[in-house]
Chain A
Amino acid sequence: MQQFEERPLLKVENLTKQYGPGCGECSQPGRPGLIKNYCPSCGTVYACSDVSLNVYPGEILGIVGESGSGKSTLMQCLYFDQDVTSGMLTIDDPELAGENLFDVSSQRKRYIRNHKYGMVYQNPVKGLRMDFSSISNIAEKQIAAGGRHVGKMQSAGERLLDVVSIPLFRMKEEPRNFSGGMQQRVQIAKALSNDPPILFLDEVTTGLDLSVRAAVIDLIKQIQRDLGISMIVVSHDLAVIRMLADRTLVMLNGRVIESGLTDQILEDPNHAYTQQLVYSLL
């Protein structure tokens, strides 16, 4: 059999994020004594335990799991919103080759965020400045990524707002005047404004009504198709994951308990928790 020569764009190995000091009991390999992700003897919470994953160029990787399973913590660690306890992150990029990006300086992390990453949070308040105009929100990220030419930035920003279907006559308006769906789309436009090779989407459709959810899903798929951006999509909504992701990881208590092709996870789930999750699907 011929090998498939393809290198992951983003590679995470054994990411662990704990809140608390840890003790002799819970530092054992496999952490046997935990109740869910909590150590009863020292009170440490393991939000993510030994999470490993690969994201390939142009791929959408789905992550599902219940509330508290560590999905968002994982995303925040990858986006450097939080420091990890241990683990390794590499990105296949000539500028970043061979480095564990969890260990680099905060200045360098900021560079990666500004030039290589886009992030869309569940709550637009986290991703947007609600009292800046929409176009300025985009400009903020463009400037952080090294943009200095006002005319160019403005036209690129207008193009992005057009991609996410925000009417240009409202681009000078502040996102706080917008509906939830519109805010989410402005956030997506902002996240794309530095042409990132990697985009993180954390529960982006949660709380949106059916038609707006469909529009956002459609937009994400279109971005993948037209721009070839690799994405990690976190959601507890299996329907969203089914539409978007080729491969999916299932998380429970901070661990990846199952991974596979998305349709295989949904139709032939193996882990008890994944089966329960699929039985709950409407």
Chain B
Amino acid sequence: MVMLEVKEFGKRFTSHHLNTTRKAVEGISFSLEQGGFIGIVGKSGSGKSTILKSIYRTYLPDEGEIWFDSERFGRINLLKAEERQVIWLRKHEIGYVSQFLNVMPRTTARELVEQALLGMGESPEAATIKAEQSLRHFDLDERLWDTFPNTFSGGEKLRLNIAIATVKKPRLLLLDEPTASLDYQSKLKVREVIEKLKADGTTLVGIFHDLEFMEGLCDCVYDMNEKALRGMPEVQR
């Protein structure tokens, strides 16, 4: 079953300050089966993040269609979905993880994960149990659970970020360079986390800096340069 289908997608940015319009991406088409994992590769500035942010509707795209197989709404074009539908989908079906953690102030790691669950209607008791499971699953040190994430390390923030995004078991998870600022050891941890997500049957679209990291994880890559899907490229060592 096709979970995500991107058709002739394009996005322009207009800057009133410079009085210019710039095409970030155009003519992007690919589709992704349920449980699949596509990595997007390309140079910096080639529009990789623009695709992810448009799927999540942080960007308001102006060309093409992005069809998502929603449990609640059926097949839905995310570019034309109503704002309230997008909010619902973000709460229940689509997750987004970047290297940045942007959360409510004075809220502990545990509360942040619980709130994601409460937001989709879980009972407080169930939310507590599932939140703890999730934090443990992603190896966040138990001593950090009741502290505030502002002072976490990059790796800890990322694992918390992934815990928040995945605890609601999204059908589609978008990974926007989550490993960008991490050292090798932390990257290995993230890799384990993604393998767990894949094993759970989550459909994934991800952007990563290094091909080596993606090897064995992605089913195929979308090459921004060729504008086509292809198999995992050989990694040159």
Contact = CB atoms under 8 A, between A and B. Distances in A.
B105 interface: yes
Interface in B2-43: 13-17
B88 A261 contact: no
Interface in A174-195: none
Interface residues of A, number: 28
Interface string B92-105: 00000000001011
A56 B84 CA distance: 9
Nearest to B72: A2
The range of chain B's interface size is: 20 to 34
Nearest to B19: A272
A4 B92 CA distance: 15
Contacts of B119: 225
Interface string A10-52: 0000000000000000000000000000000000000000000
Interface stretch (B54-62, B166-174, B179-187, B200-208): B54-62
Given A264-B57, A275-B17, A218 B73 contact: no
Nearest to B119: A225
Contacts of B86: 261
B84 A6 contact: yes
A1 interface: yes
A268 B83 CA distance: 15
Contact of A218 (B13, B81, B106): B106
Interface string A206-249: 00000100110110010001000000000000000011001100
A279 B57 contact: no
Contacts of B82: 4
Interface string A78-107: 000000000000000000000000000000
B75 interface: yes
B218 to A, nearest CB: 26
B184 to A, nearest CB: 31
A218 B105 contact: yes
A127 B100 CA distance: 38
A225 B118 contact: yes
A275 B58 contact: no
B104 A221 contact: yes
A264 B59 contact: yes
Contact of A217 (B17, B102, B104): B104
A264 B106 contact: no
Contact of B88 (A1, A4, A263): A4
B73 to A, nearest CB: 5
Given A2-B74, A247-B83, A279-B17, A261 B58 contact: yes
Contacts of B147: none
A218 B83 contact: no
B87 A275 contact: no
Given A217-B104, A225-B115, A279-B17, A267 B83 contact: no
A155 interface: no
A204 B116 CA distance: 25
A215 B59 contact: no
B87 A261 contact: yes
Interface string A261-282: 1011001101110011001000
A243 B102 CA distance: 9
Nearest to B50: A268
A65 B60 CA distance: 21
B73 A247 contact: no
A4 B58 contact: no
Contacts of A218: 104-107
B87 A247 contact: yes
Contacts of A217: 104-105
Given A214-B105, A243-B104, A272-B17, 8 more contacts: A1-B77, A1-B81, A2-B72, A211-B106, A221-B104, A247-B84, A264-B57, A270-B60
28 contacts: A1-B74, A1-B75, A1-B76, A1-B77, A1-B80, A1-B81, A2-B73, A4-B73, A4-B88, A214-B105, A215-B106, A217-B104, A218-B104, A218-B105, A218-B107, A221-B104, A225-B119, A242-B102, A246-B87, A260-B83, A261-B86, A264-B58, A268-B53, A268-B58, A275-B16, A275-B17, A276-B16, A279-B17
Interface of B: 13-17, 53, 57-60, 72-77, 80-88, 102, 104-107, 115, 118-119
